[in-house]
Amino acid sequence: MTASDDPERKRAHEEQLMAAFAVVLTHPAGFGIELFADLWIEHLEDGRFRVSRQKDDNTVSDEELFDDVREAVSYYLDLRDDLKLGLDYEGEPPRDAQS
């Protein structure tokens, strides 16, 4: 059974991702998180968080701004799920399952 098959495990995994992303995005270094250069989230100099999506023609198609890191991360993760972006959607097993 994978995390996606068990709603309780999936919810716990999403909370772990939310916490990890929040730590990275609020670090003073100004880190951002990108997925396949199609979807990214970053902390802006004005304190807000931007979630952006790139179209096939390399233009930004969607851009949302958030004051709260958890709202931004939630939106990012929901959009990732909607777009089916990630190795988990491409049938690749997670690294910890490849042993």
Q: pLDDT tens for residues 29-67?
A: 999 999 988 899 999 999 999 999 887 666 667 889 999
Q: Average pLDDT of the chain?
A: 85
Q: Kindly list the structural domains of the chain, giving each domain's residue range(s) and its CATH number in brackets, ordered by start.
A: 7-90 (3.30.160)
pLDDT score, position 90: 83
CB atoms within 10 A of CB 69: 20
Distance CA 96, CA 99 (A): 6
CB atoms within 10 A of CB 7: 9
pTM of this prediction?
Answer: 0.78
